[in-house]
Amino acid sequence: MILTLDVGNSTMTGGIFNDNKLVLQFRQTTDKNSTSDEIGIFLRSVLRENGIDWKEIKDICCCSVVPPINYSLSSALKKYFGVEALFIQSGIKTGLKLKYSNPKEIGADRIAAAIGAANRHPNQNLVVIDMGTATTIDVVTKDKEYLGGAIMPGLKISVQALASGTSKLPTVEIIKANKICGQSTIEAIQSGIYFGNAGAIKEFCYQYQKKIFGGEKPFVVGTGGFARTFESYNLFDEIVPELVLLGVKNALEMNR
């Protein structure tokens, strides 16, 4: 079995693959101050509660955008699983041609999502949109060239910024807004967050189609915690919640 981990700024997501099947997925709030023992005990307990023997884990690959946790995480995996984990970082095989001025700057989650999308949809021009703490938009050509993309504040950060940066605006629930013209302050914020992000994503996809892909419509893949909020808006050709974990697994297979 393979253990894959996606350590984000808000949440650590894990997945267990048995052959090519994702048999377990779990989440934990990211705490950059976690000790190796805390991480190791948590991971073992999750597996135990789901009927999986930790000794069955033979390979581990991690994607982390939280550098302060990486040492503890690596130590935990070695101590509690006896495995030297592979971390997605500059220098490993990705199967992508990284057309970035400094590839070391690319977030591991962006690389993993791009790997997952490119392996899932070979020979297609892709736009990969990950809606988490930040919203990242990445472009991958049918020749597996990673061209870069855009980074925007995520929906939750945007709501928090409005609440903390103003005197009267409240924190609101992030939902699919039903009204483009909000008739209360809460509705207005929800409308701004929902339709503002939808409009931005549509504009990016339009510009990529026009200026990068020569008018050819790219295949748009959505992932991340907020992607499902836009499911009925038809922003995405496909939503794959486990896309980053799939990319992490693909990276492990390329680097064995």
- In degrees, rounded to 5, the angle at the alpha carbon of residue 157 between the alpha carbons of residues 154 and 163 is 145
Question: Given phi > 0 = left and psi -120 to 50 = alpha, else beta, which region is 148?
Answer: left
CB atoms within 10 A of CB 124: 16
- Catalytic-labelled residue, pool 37, 53, 59, 109: 109
Structure tokens of 156? 């939750």
109 as an active site residue: the answer is: yes
Which residues make beta-bridge pairs with 167? none
Question: CB neighbours of 113 closer than 8 A, spacing ≥ 6?
Answer: 128, 130, 136, 138, 223, 243, 244, 247
CB atoms within 10 A of CB 93: 11
60: enclosing H helix or E strand: strand 59-64
- In degrees, rounded to 5, the angle at the alpha carbon of residue 6 between the alpha carbons of residues 5 and 8 is 140
Question: CB neighbours of 167 closer than 8 A, spacing ≥ 6?
Answer: none
As a whole number of Å, the end-to-end CA separation of the chain is 14
What is the set of active-site residues? 109
